[in-house]
Amino acid sequence: MDAIILQILNGLDKGSAYALIALGLTLIFGTLGVVNFAHGALFMIGAFCAVTISRILTFSHEVVDETRTDFLGNPMKVDVPYIHSIVGQNAGDFMIDWAVPLSILFAIPVMIGIGVIMERGLIKHFYKRPHADQILVTFGLAIVLQEIIKFYYGANPIPTPAPSAFRGSFDFGAFLGMDANSIIYPYWRLVYFAFSLVIIGAVFAFLRFTTFGMVVRAGMADRETVGLLGINIDKRFTIMFGIAAAVAGLAGVMYAPINSPNYHMGMDFLVLSFVVVVVGGMGSLPGAVLAGFLLGILESFASMSEVLELLPGINQIVIYLVAIIILLTRPRGLMGRKGVMED
């Protein structure tokens, strides 16, 4: 029993990342009909937003501390972040500690900006071209973005710690009335899961309960008619592209403490996220979210030692295997609508 709960929990954080990226991919595909291979790069840029903010906050200058001495007896030089002299020592330390959550504020406008520029500058010209061309140009863009990040931040993963308040682990076993220490789960992963639920909820609420969202949904169903009604649907779709980029970026920001950001993390997630989108059903938002969590949990179950004894190596291939089976037996995916990209 505890093993099962542990695997479900383990699957949740990866599943959350899959779900968020797949949600963004589906938003772009559903609105603009574009297959965006650069979406993983947006996730990666999000993670590097967190890196950037934590670097800016810890940007320091050397100060001679007269009260302490180094081993030679001279006054010691200490690195003091500039933030201390701006907001004071306590507030400064607090901000440095909470760098990752603070980056969210920075990442939202940046990611929306990148998304809008991408759509207006590049993707716009590819609506009438075949899907293969869209895949290729966004694939090229992904390489370029990835290399730019690599140039400025280097090729090595950059550890970006979570706030110290969330650094420990939560004892789920004791919480559920089982033996203490039977199920231990890092706090930050719980935070990530909750965060992803909030984002997913926000996106759905935005589409469901606002006029803007209603127009966008109408446009997804029948773009031409909405346009004929005198609504500038292109502009709204551009904004949706920005929002999709922001969703991917936020997923990346919060993922930074779980997995130290490196320049190719986006590509690693992208391939799996595409599989998730296809399993969930091309163009279906709930499908993308559901499939994201399901495949995340499935992957973590497949890496249990009992399963691995029975079917060695299954943890590496289970997602692809499921995707192949789904595509062949139910081409429109779990929750895909009839007629959307079925051929």
Partner 1 sequence: MLGMTRKDAMMLAIVAIVALLAPFILNPFPVDSGFAQFNAGYPDLMQRFAIFGIFAIGFNILFGLTGYLSFGHAAFLGVGSYAAIWMMKLLTTNILPGMVMGIIVAGLFALVVGFISLRRSGIYFAILTLAFAQMSYALAYSVLTPITGGETGLQLKLNDARVLDAPLAPGERADANLFGIDMTSSYDLIVGGWQFTFNAGYYIAAVVLVLAFYLSIRIFRSPFGMMLRAIKSNNTRMTYTGLNARPYALAAFVISGMYAGLAGGLMVAMDTQVGPERMFWTASGEVVLMTILGGAGTLIGPVLGAGLIKYMENIISKINSSILHEWFYWMPDGLEDFVITLIYPFVGKGWHLTLGIVFMLVVIFLPGGLVEGGQRIKRLFESKKARKTSDQTTPAE
Q: Which residue among 141, 158, 190, 335 contacts partner 1 (CB under 8 A)?
A: 141
- Give the nearer residue to partner 1 in terms of CB position, either 39 or 236: 39
Contacting partner 1 within 51-80 (CB under 8 A): none
Question: How would you label 152-182 residue by residue, b for 16+ Cβ within 10 Å and e otherwise?
Answer: ebeeeebebebbeebeeebbbbeeeeeeeeb
Nearest approach in angstroms of CB 320 to partner 1 is: 4
Question: What residues numbered 210-269 form the site for partner 1, per CB under 8 A?
Answer: 267
**132: contact with partner 1 by CB under 8 A:** yes
151 binds partner 1 (CB under 8 A): yes
Pairwise CA distance, residues 144 & 41, whole Å: 9
Query: Are the CB atoms for 162 and 260 separated by under 8 Å?
Result: no
Least separation in angstroms between CB 144 and partner 1: 4
**What Cα–Cα distance (Å) separates residue 246 from each residue in 29, 45, 105?**
15, 10, 11
x/- site string to partner 1, residues 21 to 50, per CB under 8 A?
A: --------------x---------------
Q: Based on CB atoms, which residue is closest to partner 1, 203 or 302? A: 302
Using CB under 8 A, pick the residue from 150, 217, 223, 337 that binds partner 1.
150
CB 313 to partner 1: min, Å: 3
Q: What's the one-letter identity of residue 237? A: F
Write the secondary structure of 292-326 as one string of H (helix), E (strand) and C (coil): HHHHHHHHHHHCCHHHHHHCCCHHHHHHHHHHHHH
CB of 272 to partner 1, least distance (A): 9
DSSP for 45-92 reads HHHHHHHHHHHHHT-EEEEEEEEEE-TTSSEEEEEEEHHHHHH-HHHH
288 binds partner 1 (CB under 8 A): no
Which tokens in the block code for residue 153? 């931040």
Tokens of 178: 């089982």
The answer to whether 316 contacts partner 1 (rule: CB under 8 A) is yes
Torsion of CA 288, 104, 115, 284, to 10 degrees: 10
Binding residues among 98-127 for partner 1 as defined by CB under 8 A: 122, 125
The structure tokens 């991917």 sit at: 248
Kindly list the residues in this chain that would bind partner 1 in the complex (CB under 8 A). 35, 122, 125, 129, 131-133, 135-137, 139-144, 146-148, 150-151, 155, 267, 271, 274-275, 278, 282, 312-313, 316-317, 320-321, 323-324, 327-328, 331, 341, 343
